[in-house]
Structure 1
Amino acid sequence: MSLRLSPVILLMILPLAGCSALSALGAASTPLEVFELRALAPEQPARRTRDVEVVVEEPVATGALATERIMIRPAPLSAQYLPGVRWADPAPAMLQTMLLRSLAETGAFNSVGRGPVGTRADYAVLGELTDFQAEVAEGQGAQVRVRLMLRIVREGDARVTARRTFESVAPAADTDAATIVDAFDAALRSMLADMVPWILDRV
């Protein structure tokens, strides 16, 4: 036996389906609040500029980290993203920009960029991003963890001249988006304060 709907019932159902579709479309088009982090301003510019060109490559990262969404881990093996917010750029690109600007602000090098000015640069800074998330702690707070493995490569002979893993952790009083972003900012600025002089000493 086939079920047939009367024209009156169909006229009642169609507007409801349309409202549902419009509601879903409206939710999908709601703009996300955008956050960006600050580069590190040097306490004192370099006394002299070295005739050296440095390229900062975009760090590699897994798919879960290579996104503009802000990751939060409620458990060690669980990854979620804060709703309604995002970074201005995917995390690896944002880190590249922050490190590049922080190095450029020192005035220590003739050129710092994403690519060489000529055929090749003198040194390249390569990274691998392994942690970039907020981890829910006991109670209502969280802590932000950032971990980046860096290598300095001399372009002339492709030799790795230095390598080091940098890690920084900063507490967040709660899991509110603004609080989490402030903790990311604190963790990254602390890590940049270690990375920049390390690179300056080895290039």
Structure 2
Amino acid sequence: MSLRSPLTVVMLATLLLTFGGCSILPESEPATFYRLPASTPSATPEATSSALPIRLGIATPEAGHLLSSNRIVVYPERNVVNVYEGSRWHEDAPAMLQARLITGLQQRQLFNSVGSDRLPHDLLLLSELRHFQSEYDTTPPSVKIQLDVQLVGTQDRQPIVANSFSTRTQASSAEIPDVVDAFGQASDVLNEQLATWLEDQARSL
């Protein structure tokens, strides 16, 4: 009886898999991508004539390694940090929150214009996203968002004033779509808090 070399066996196996349309690699399940639900501001926007003659720029929030991705972060228990399997944000969380803040402030019409820091602006809002996760400290889980902000001048970027905002909203169930809805509700509350603070600060300048 003759023995084939290991190399020959590997080549034969590869050919069989190739022509048979098979793969020895495990197939990964496709991810479901989520965006934040449409904003539902609680306050009625003020008239445009009362808008402050200030162009406000909103920079993309800084964030740690995990929060800088499009993974949906979850704290399942105590000190454990994880992500939802098979679920993603449609873009990285800081960019998604930046767009949410810009839209919310535009709806309130507090400033002459609100846009990203790539557009001309008189004041710039810098921030750091400290928390943007669901937590199973309650049943159903709750969503926590914390954003540390700093308002700076355009010319020298010297800090004018700083603050920290934190919100928590409980989801209606542990299902991913309901958790995503809770992220949207918490983002709206954060936007309301930030808008009120920004208006007070801008009017005192």
CA 1:11–1:125 in structure 2 vs 1: closer, same or farther (change >3 Å)? closer
Partners of 2:149 and 2:191 lie apart in 1 by 12
Gaps of 5+ in 1: none
Give the deviation of 1:92 after TM superposition.
0.5
Give the deviation of 1:12 after TM superposition.
10
1:90 paired residue number: 92
Partners of 2:148 and 2:131 lie apart in 1 by 10
Partners of 1:197 and 1:114 lie apart in 2 by 19
Give the deviation of 1:38 after TM superposition.
3.2
Partners of 1:104 and 1:151 lie apart in 2 by 19
Partners of 1:117 and 1:90 lie apart in 2 by 21
Letter in 1 for 2:152: V
2:22 paired residue number: 19
Partners of 2:14 and 2:197 lie apart in 1 by 69
Q: Is the 8 A contact 1:69 1:81 kept in 2?
A: yes
1:81 paired residue number: 83
May I ask how many residue pairs the two structures share in their alignment? 194
Letter in 1 for 2:46: P
Give the deviation of 1:82 after TM superposition.
1.1
If the length of structure 1 is used for normalisation, what is the TM-score? 0.81
Partners of 2:198 and 2:38 lie apart in 1 by 19
If the length of structure 2 is used for normalisation, what is the TM-score? 0.81
Once superposed, what is the RMSD of the aligned Cα atoms? 2.8
Partners of 2:194 and 2:24 lie apart in 1 by 49
2:175 paired residue number: 176
Q: Is the 8 A contact 1:39 1:99 kept in 2?
A: no
Partners of 2:103 and 2:93 lie apart in 1 by 15
2:190 paired residue number: 191
1:130 paired residue number: 130
Gaps of 5+ in 2: none
Partners of 1:81 and 1:32 lie apart in 2 by 13
Partners of 2:4 and 2:78 lie apart in 1 by 51
Following TM superposition, where does structure 1 have runs of at least 4 consecutive aligned residues deviating by more than 3 angstroms? 2-7, 10-18, 20-23, 37-42
Partners of 2:22 and 2:118 lie apart in 1 by 54
Identity of aligned residues (%): 25
Give the deviation of 1:54 after TM superposition.
0.9
CA 1:117–1:62 in structure 2 vs 1: closer, same or farther (change >3 Å)? closer
